[in-house]
Structure 1
Amino acid sequence: MFGSKKQPAIRSLIGEGTVVQGTLRFSDGLRIDGEVQGDVVASPDDKSILVISEKARVIGTVKAGHVIINGTVMGPVESTLLLELQPKARIQGDVRYESLEMHQGATIDGALQRLTSGSVAAVIEDKPALKLLAAGNDMK
């Protein structure tokens, strides 16, 4: 489904051992192997890709089209196309996504909200609350 679309090239790299402080804005593709203390935001009209590698850490908001995380994010994450959480992904913050792929071992400490693409601005779907039956209750 997603393999048929050409991914943008990763044109920028924050290398391991590098610490960036402040808001980081990018277009096309960005790979983070170091640490960003601030928001990481893709251009709004861009089909962007953001890779946060296993050793990377972001303390701030993450927002891009296609987001692949295998490191740590301490802050909210928004992916307008596809969010891939690799086995070592650790997120402390709310997550908003259009499509989600989560591997065993990835963790999220926050709320999950699916975006809809029915309008120019993504809107959170209103869904009824999930009801669980307590053990021992009769199902009739």
Structure 2
Amino acid sequence: MFGSKPKKSEITYIAKGTSVTGTMYFDGDTLVSGSLQGDIHADCGISIEPNGIIDGQLRCVELKVSGVFRGKVSCEKLIITESGTVEGEVFSTSMEIFEGGQFIGVRVKEQVNLLDEVPSLLKNATPTQKLSFETD
């Protein structure tokens, strides 16, 4: 999906109306149309859809924002589309902002102090232990 890393077969989809809070780990590409809040680590790419929101600390390979991201992010590539908004502190090797996209914050030269490694308990947890969520 995102091309920076070898593709994995798993895609996680957080649907509109779904809200997840806590510490999260995704080992495949992730599409967010709902809401994520907390500390997030992803081994691949995350795409925030137009209705999606992420609020917290995020470490991923590639972040594509068509919705809203608030917080601190560390990634190789950040893409803000024409409907996307990023508010906060960003560390990225490359950054692309399409006309209409908004970046409100600061881009830092040094790595943002975030989750460097996924806690082993989280990485080895069963799927039901990894996430707890609510739907509207």
TM-score by length of 2: 0.71
Alpha-carbon distance between aligned partners in 2 of 1:104 and 1:7, rounded to the nearest angstrom: 29
Task: Give the 3 Å change call, closer, same or farther, for CA 85–4 of structure 1 in structure 2.
Answer: closer
Higher relative contact order (CA 8 A, sep 6+): 2
Paired residue secondary structure (2:61):
strand
Residue 60, structure 1, aligned to residue 56, structure 2: yes
8 Å CA contact 1:92, 1:109 repeated in 2 = yes
Paired residue secondary structure (2:16):
coil
1:8 CA displacement: 4.0
1:90 maps to 85
Residue 75, structure 1, aligned to residue 71, structure 2: yes
Alpha-carbon distance between aligned partners in 2 of 1:97 and 1:61, rounded to the nearest angstrom: 14
- Identical-residue share of aligned pairs (%): 26
Task: Give the gaps of 5 or more residues in structure 2.
Answer: 117-136
Q: How many residues align?
A: 111
2:41 maps to 41
* One-letter amino acid of the structure 2 residue matched with residue 12 of structure 1: T
Paired residue secondary structure (1:75):
strand
Task: Give the gaps of 5 or more residues in structure 1.
Answer: 122-140
Q: Which has the higher Rg, Structure 1 or Structure 2?
A: 1
When structure 1 is superposed on structure 2, of 3-12 and 62-71 the one drifting more is 3-12
Alpha-carbon distance between aligned partners in 2 of 1:114 and 1:7, rounded to the nearest angstrom: 28
Residue 108, structure 1, aligned to residue 103, structure 2: yes
Q: Deviations over 1:23-77 (max 9, x none)?
A: 12111211111001212211xxx4x111111100111012100111111111012
1:11 CA displacement: 1.4
- Point out the structure with the larger helix share: 2
Alpha-carbon distance between aligned partners in 1 of 2:39 and 2:5, rounded to the nearest angstrom: 27
8 Å CA contact 1:71, 1:90 repeated in 2 = yes
1:105 CA displacement: 1.1
TM-score by length of 1: 0.69
1:132 maps to none
User: How big is the alpha-carbon RMSD for the aligned residues of Structure 1 and Structure 2?
Assistant: 2.3
